[in-house]
């Protein structure tokens, strides 16, 4: 959908609902979060450009509101929801949870604390039981992992872990981090038609010249990610870069070009 089509859909939906539409309601109209990010930098920017005041789901909600909605989804599913499961069935996106609790895995403990302080344990005893079961499972996994480490004399906690072998003279193992992706890009940049101008700390990570046809170059802005979907998790604006260079491409709906180095090295025969 074009920018104007999205704004028209938002205004029409708001008129029917008599309130601002949520991300889930917009997804039902085929307005994806990626499109909102690409054209407006997110839902708030889209609502503002549509002439609406950003309020309602995801804006200025109390902790109790988002936590109870999360618990309602857990009760409906019969298990603690993943991010994608919650966003499909809940009122909000992951954003208000991450801004409050930093990590999705911390939401269950935040809910437990909230219902205890509010004296609502009996009302939500089924969800609290799910949280306790998850806590026990994680505890058991940590104990088993600890036992496995103690049994295996060749596993040392004070030494680094390496990726699978690539058998390249310049890079022995596959990268396990964004820094490794940057180095791997250097191995194939010339073959892919890139000449790096500079790296920087802020977004985007790199500026380079790219040969579009023989003898003609254009300046391009590159963001490095270990996985392409990290671009979305880091809330970068797609309008701020021209290409994502990654090791693993796992963002099917990505609105910008993605260069997956794992495939590029395999395609060229550089990696065996």
Could you report the per-residue pLDDT of 116-139, keeping only the tens digit for each?
Answer: 988 888 999 999 999 988 888 877
pLDDT of 80 strictly over 50 = yes
- At 58 the pLDDT is 46
200: enclosing H helix or E strand: none
> In this structure, are strands 243-248 and 206-213 parallel, antiparallel, or unpaired?
unpaired
Q: Is the pLDDT of residue 178 over 80?
A: yes
Q: What is the mean pLDDT of residues 4-22?
A: 87
Over range 160-178, report the average pLDDT. Answer: 85
Residue matched to tokens 């990696």: 271
pLDDT at 217: 92
pLDDT at 204: 93
- Of 38-47, 100-109, 242-251, the least confident: 38-47
Specify the pTM: 0.46
Token output for 246: 């990654």
Average pLDDT on 19-31 reads: 86
Percentage of the chain with pLDDT > 90? 36
Average pLDDT over residues 48-73: 74
Q: Residue 28 is encoded by which pair of tokens?
A: 């039902």
pLDDT at 24: 85
Residue 221 tokens, joined: 């802005």
Q: Confidence band (pLDDT; 50, 70, 90) for 57?
A: very low
Q: For residue range 28-48, what is the model confidence (pLDDT) as tens digits? A: 888 888 888 888 878 877 887
* Res 21: pLDDT: 86
Give pLDDT, residue 272: 45
C-alpha span between 137 and 101 (Å, rounded): 21
Q: Alpha-carbon distance 243 to 220, whole Å?
A: 8
- State the Cα–Cα distance between residues 81 and 71, nearest whole angstrom: 9
Confidence at residue 270, expressed as pLDDT on a 0 to 100 scale: 53
* DSSP characters over 22-91: PHHHHHHTT--HHHHHHHHSSHHHHHHHTT----BTTBS--HHHHHHHHHHHHHHHTSPPPHHHHHHHSS
Does the pLDDT at position 61 exceed 90? Answer: no
Query: Average model confidence (pLDDT) for the chain?
Result: 84
> Is the omega angle on the peptide bond into residue 204 within 30 degrees of 0, that is, cis?
yes
Task: Please report the pLDDT score of residue 154 as a whole number.
Answer: 62
Between 16 and 55, residue with greater pLDDT: 16
Does 249 have pLDDT greater than 80?
Answer: yes
Per-residue pLDDT, averaged over 9-22, amounts to: 86
pLDDT reading at 140 higher than 70 = no
The confidence band for 1, taking pLDDT boundaries of 50, 70 and 90, is confident
Which two tokens mark 100?
A: 């409050």
């Amino acid at each position: 959908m074009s920018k104007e089509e999205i704004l028209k859909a938002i205004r029409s939906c708001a008129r029917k609902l008599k309130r601002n539409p949520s991300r889930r309601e917009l997804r039902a109209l085929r307005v994806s979060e990626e499109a909102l990010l690409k054209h407006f930098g997110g839902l708030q920017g889209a609502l503002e450009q549509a002439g609406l005041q950003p309020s309602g789901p995801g804006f200025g909600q109390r902790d109790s509101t988002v936590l109870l909605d999360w618990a309602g989804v857990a009760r409906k599913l019969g298990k603690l929801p993943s991010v994608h499961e919650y966003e499909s069935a809940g009122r909000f996106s992951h954003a208000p949870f991450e801004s409050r609790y930093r990590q999705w895995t911390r939401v269950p403990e935040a809910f437990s604390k909230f219902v205890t302080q509010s004296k609502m344990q009996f009302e939500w005893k089924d969800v609290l039981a799910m949280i306790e079961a998850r806590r026990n499972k994680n505890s058991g996994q940590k104990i088993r992992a600890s036992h496995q480490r103690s049994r295996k004399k060749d596993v040392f906690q004070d030494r680094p872990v390496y990726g699978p072998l690539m058998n390249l003279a310049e890079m022995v193992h596959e990268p396990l981090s964004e820094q490794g992706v940057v180095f791997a890009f250097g191995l194939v940049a010339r073959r892919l038609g890139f000449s790096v101008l500079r790296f920087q700390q802020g977004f985007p990570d790199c500026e380079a010249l790219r040969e579009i046809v023989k003898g003609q170059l254009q300046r391009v802005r590159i963001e490095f990610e270990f996985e392409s979907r990290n671009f979305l998790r880091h809330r970068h604006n797609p309008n701020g870069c021209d290409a994502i260079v990654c090791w693993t491409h796992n963002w099917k709906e990505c609105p910008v070009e993605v260069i997956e180095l794992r495939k590029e090295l395999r395609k060229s025969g550089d990696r065996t």
